[in-house]
């Protein structure tokens, strides 16, 4: 259905194509668990370009490719000519002649769009400042596994509503007919132009999109509570102070979870700051005196949190993207 197609942003996909990827992800997941996985990518070569750090995305592409019989090259933030001595257009044409598929994680969405235009082989967006489309597949597979459906599910995203996760969740939710809310200070809502695009999609699917700075309107009786880091990779660390002040009221804590539906779940794309066991967590504590950020340790470790199931689903969904576009 989507052989040879790039996966650069959800806006390029139809609801049908998106649902097909979710179904393929489930099948590949079950096949792997039952020990009957078939290798659809034997002899294929894949290159992973990372201009930013990653644990899940990189490892999902590597393990997914290896499970399917493909070979992988990793190009990290340093060590290649990309962007320094060679343009993205030229890199795309070189790598496109060596490899069958290219993953890119970096800064501007435009960069991955240029790669996609010039490579001649499928290019997959593993996160840009604007979008994180592979993450949404894992998130929605996790929600579907829990509730058996996506249509009509009530989801609230709290925090930086105009980062790659806020943007991508909004578009994804519109595509599958969810009742989706961005719950954030008004100046952290997604860009108006992107909201308009999401509303256009919502008209065709019956999705309901709400933008509110009120916790009560945002999370009362909600099924899925989602949050992300308050400062994303590539942002100026100088914004921490302001972001903490703005977003602390939107921290996902027990009081907030108590307002949600009885059977609600907590999701996070990870990595998350919910304790001081990280270098950054310690630094923030020293500077600002807060021990937890977007989610408390209590919620993160609590019964409603299924973040590690969600993280595992990165593998199965990323594998599905490679299989669907290459095999």
Residues that bind ligand CP (CB under 6 A): 54-57, 127, 135, 269-270
- Residue 256 CA, chain-centre distance (Å), reads 23
DSSP string covering 144-190: HHHHS--TT-EEEEES-TTSHHHHHHHHHHHHHT-EEEEES-GGGSP
CB of 137 to ligand CP, least distance (A): 12
294 is a contact residue toward ligand NVA (CB under 6 A): no
DSSP reduced 3-state for 224 = strand
CB of 134 to ligand CP, least distance (A): 8
264 is a contact residue toward ligand NVA (CB under 6 A): no
243 an active-site residue? no
Task: Pick one of ligand CP, ligand NVA, none as the site partner of residue 15 (Cβ within 5 to 8 A by kind).
Answer: none
- Is 165 within 8 Å of 135 (Cβ atoms)? yes
CA separation for the pair 244, 11 (Å, rounded) = 31
For the four alpha carbons of 285, 290, 293 and 297, in that order, the dihedral sign comes to positive
Task: Pick one of ligand NVA, ligand CP, none as the site partner of residue 320 (Cβ within 5 to 8 A by kind).
Answer: none
233 is a contact residue toward ligand NVA (CB under 6 A): yes
13: its two tokens: 């996909």
List the one residue from 150, 229, 318, 326 that touches ligand NVA (CB under 6 A): 229
Q: Which residues pair with 156 in a beta bridge?
A: 181, 225
Considering only CA atoms, which of 157, 286, 171, 179 is closest in space to residue 230?
157
- Is 65 within 8 Å of 315 (Cβ atoms)? no
67 an active-site residue? no
Nearer CB in complex with ligand NVA: 57/91: 57
DSSP string covering 29-80: HHHHHTT----S-TT-EEEEEESS--SHHHHHHHHHHHHTT-EEEEE-SSSS
317 is a contact residue toward ligand NVA (CB under 6 A): no
Task: Pick one of ligand CP, ligand NVA, none as the site partner of residue 66 (Cβ within 5 to 8 A by kind).
Answer: none
In the set 100, 269, 274, 310, the catalytic residue is: 269
269 is a contact residue toward ligand NVA (CB under 6 A): yes
In the set 100, 139, 228, 268, the catalytic residue is: 228
1: its two tokens: 């259905």
CB of 88 to ligand CP, least distance (A): 21
Q: Per-residue b/e over 21-58, b at no fewer than 16 CB within 10 Å?
A: bbebbbebbeebeeeebeebbeebbbbbbbbbebebbb
Nearer CB in complex with ligand NVA: 52/93: 52
List the one residue from 232, 253, 275, 276 that touches ligand NVA (CB under 6 A): 232
In the set 103, 135, 251, 310, the catalytic residue is: 135
Task: Pick one of ligand CP, ligand NVA, none as the site partner of residue 163 (Cβ within 5 to 8 A by kind).
Answer: ligand NVA
105 an active-site residue? yes
Nearer CB in complex with ligand CP: 48/207: 48
Task: Pick one of ligand CP, ligand NVA, none as the site partner of residue 164 (Cβ within 5 to 8 A by kind).
Answer: ligand NVA
228 an active-site residue? yes
List the one residue from 141, 165, 219, 322 that touches ligand NVA (CB under 6 A): 165
Please list the active-site residues. Answer: 105, 132, 135, 228, 269, 314
């Amino acid at each position: 259905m989507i052989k040879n197609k790039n996966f650069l942003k959800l806006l390029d996909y139809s609801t049908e194509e998106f649902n097909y990827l979710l179904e393929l992800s489930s099948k590949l997941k079950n096949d792997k668990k039952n020990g009957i996985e078939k290798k659809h990518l034997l002899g294929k070569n894949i290159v992973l370009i990372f201009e930013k750090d990653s644990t899940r995305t990189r490892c999902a592409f590597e393990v997914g490719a290896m499970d399917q019989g493909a070979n992988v090259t990793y190009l990290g933030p340093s060590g290649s000519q990309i962007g320094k001595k060679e343009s993205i257009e030229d890199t795309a044409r070189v790598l496109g002649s060596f490899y069958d598929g290219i993953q890119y994680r970096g800064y501007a969405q435009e960069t991955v769009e240029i790669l996609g235009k010039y490579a001649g082989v499928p290019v997959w967006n593993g996160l840009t400042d604007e979008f994180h489309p592979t993450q949404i597949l894992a998130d929605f597979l996790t929600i579907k596994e829990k509730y058996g459906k996506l249509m009509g599910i009530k989801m609230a995203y709290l925090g930086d509503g105009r980062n790659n996760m806020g943007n991508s969740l909004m578009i994804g939710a519109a595509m599958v007919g969810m009742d989706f809310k961005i719950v954030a200070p008004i100046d952290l809502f997604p860009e108006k132009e992107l909201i308009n695009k999401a509303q256009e999609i919502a008209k065709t699917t019956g999705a309901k999109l709400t933008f509110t700075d009120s916790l009560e309107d945002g999370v009362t009786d909600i099924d899925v509570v989602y949050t992300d880091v308050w400062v994303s990779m590539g942002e100026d660390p100088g914004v921490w102070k302001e972001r903490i002040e703005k977003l602390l009221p939107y921290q996902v804590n027990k009081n907030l979870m108590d307002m949600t539906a009885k059977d609600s779940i907590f999701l996070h794309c990870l990595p998350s700051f919910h304790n001081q066991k990280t270098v950054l967590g310690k630094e923030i504590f020293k500077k600002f005196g807060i021990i937890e950020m977007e989610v408390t340790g209590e919620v993160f470790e609590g019964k409603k949190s299924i973040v590690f199931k969600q993280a595992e689903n990165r593998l199965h969904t990323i594998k599905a993207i490679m299989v669907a576009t290459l095999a």
